[in-house]
Structures are given as structure tokens and as C-alpha cells.
Amino acid sequence: MAGCDTNGNHDKKCKSRLMITVIGNLKGGAGKSTVAFNIGVWLAMAGRTVVAYDLDPQKTLHDVASIRAEEGYKPQFPVYLSDIQLTGKLLSHSGDVLIDVGSANIDGMKKAITVCHRIVIPVPPSQADIWSTQRFIRIIEQAKGDDMLELLAFINRADTHHAVRESDEAAAALATLPGIRLLNSRLRQRTAFRRSFSEGLAVYELEPSSKAANEILALTAELY
């Protein structure tokens, strides 16, 4: 396609431009793999070229993609495990690359940070998660140096009970962290996310008109 190359030097209309998105933070259970999977299926459904790298030794994203493949659900997208040749391999892709990283593989995480265009950070609404996000930002700053990088945070697992203010407080605290852009979308704690994930389905495939589906679709629209 004219005007494109795989280094991200491209005009904005170019569909096959390379966009590397890391979905990361330090704590397990924040929803990295769930979000990466739901976004990956959405991109594939939209007919975009999408590949993912699962750099977390828990390999959850790889597992859910394997279940999807075993069940024969379409569309599928490849999930690679190795981060050894990450840099070289990444630049050979075009389209959308998703990288799922966690603190159990700090080297892989740093490598992903140095090559990505942006980092999407799911944050559960607790003080401990805000602290750990602060620490994650420091790791990003150290790995990335002065380079510009978009840091997009959102609240995941927000309480569904409206009287609980914890999510609003956590969102306000997140918004004050250096370099962070707080996304408007919020995912609430909903069993539909777990149910769909365990079956190898995106939540909007299993329960298309659910609140969970609306929430993840709003998040995806904000990101793409």
C-alpha cells in the first residue's frame, strides 16, 4: 500500500500501518488478558490484521486463544509466546499488534515498552492498585527515556453498586498520575467477563446485549 512502511511511518488513512499496543500493569488479576482478548477478537471481526504476544508466564491470553481455536470459533488471531526476537519480529508485522505483559516477566515487559506506540493500563479500583500503577509508570519512564508514549488507563472491575465511591476516587487518583490519560470507559465487575473468557468467546459474542458487552465495546471504540 502506498505511503506505508512497517516502522509506523505512514499516512493516517493507511489501513495496514503498524500499531503496537501493550496491555500491561504490574499486578495480576487487573484484567490485562481479558481486555487483550476481547480487543483482539474485535479487531479480527473488523477485518483488521491482528497478532498478539503473550509475554506473561501465566500464558492466559494464549490459553484462551487455544480454547477458541479448539472450539472452532471464528475469527481467530495468532497469539505468540516468545519474546526472544520480539523487536525484529514486531517490525515485520503490519496492522495491529497486542502485547500482554505482567510483572512476572520484567525483561519482556521492558522490551515491549521500548517498541510499543502506547500502553493500555487496566486498573482495579483500590489504593494498592493505584500504588502499583505508579510503580509501573516509573518502570515505563526508565525503559522508554524521553520518547513520547501514550499511557491510557481505565478502571476495570469497578463496583456495580452505585453507592460505592471507590471507583470514582480511584479514577480521580489515576488522572493525577504523571503522563496518564484516563479513558472515559470503565469496565465493571461482571460475571459475563469471566463466563465468556472461560469459553473462548468475547463477551459481546456470548452476551451481545449485556452491559459487559456495551462496556468493552465502548472501551474498544475509545482505543481504535
Q: Residues 100, 61: contact at Cβ < 8 Å?
A: yes
- Cβ-based nearer residue to ligand ADP, 17 or 157: 157
The mark string for 59-98 relative to ligand ADP (x by CB under 6 A, - otherwise) is: -x--------------------------------------
Give, as one character, the DSSP assignment of residue 188. Answer: B
CA atoms within 13 A on the CB side of 109: 23
Nearer to ligand ADP, 18 or 121 (CB): 121
Q: Which does 30 bind (CB under 5 to 8 A by kind): Mg ion, ligand ADP, none?
A: ligand ADP
What is the amino acid identity at position 99? Answer: I
Candidate list 157, 180, 206, 223; residue touching ligand ADP; CB under 6 A: 157
Residue 198 beta carbon to Mg ion: minimum distance, rounded to whole angstroms: 14
Q: Please choose which of Mg ion, ligand ADP, none residue 31 contacts, taking the beta carbon within 5 to 8 angstroms, the exact cut-off set by kind.
A: ligand ADP
* Cβ count near 202 (within 10 Å): 28
Residue selected from 33, 167, 185, 220 as contacting ligand ADP according to rule CB under 6 A:
33
**Residue 29 interacts with which of Mg ion, ligand ADP, none, CB < 5 to 8 Å by class:** ligand ADP
Q: How far apart are CA 196 and CA 184, in angstroms?
A: 24
Question: Among 41, 58, 60, which Cα is nearest to 50's?
Answer: 41
Instruction: Report the residue from 21, 25, 60, 220 that binds Mg ion according to the rule CB under 5 A.
Output: 60
**Does position 186 bind ligand ADP by CB under 6 A?**
no
The cell 515498552 sits on which residue?
113
Cis, peptide link before residue 78, omega less than 30° from 0: no
CA distance linking residue 192 with residue 210, whole number of Å: 8
The residues with which 207 forms a beta bridge, in sequence order, are: none
The contact set with ligand ADP (CB under 6 A) reads 28-34, 60, 156-157, 187, 189-190, 193-194, 197
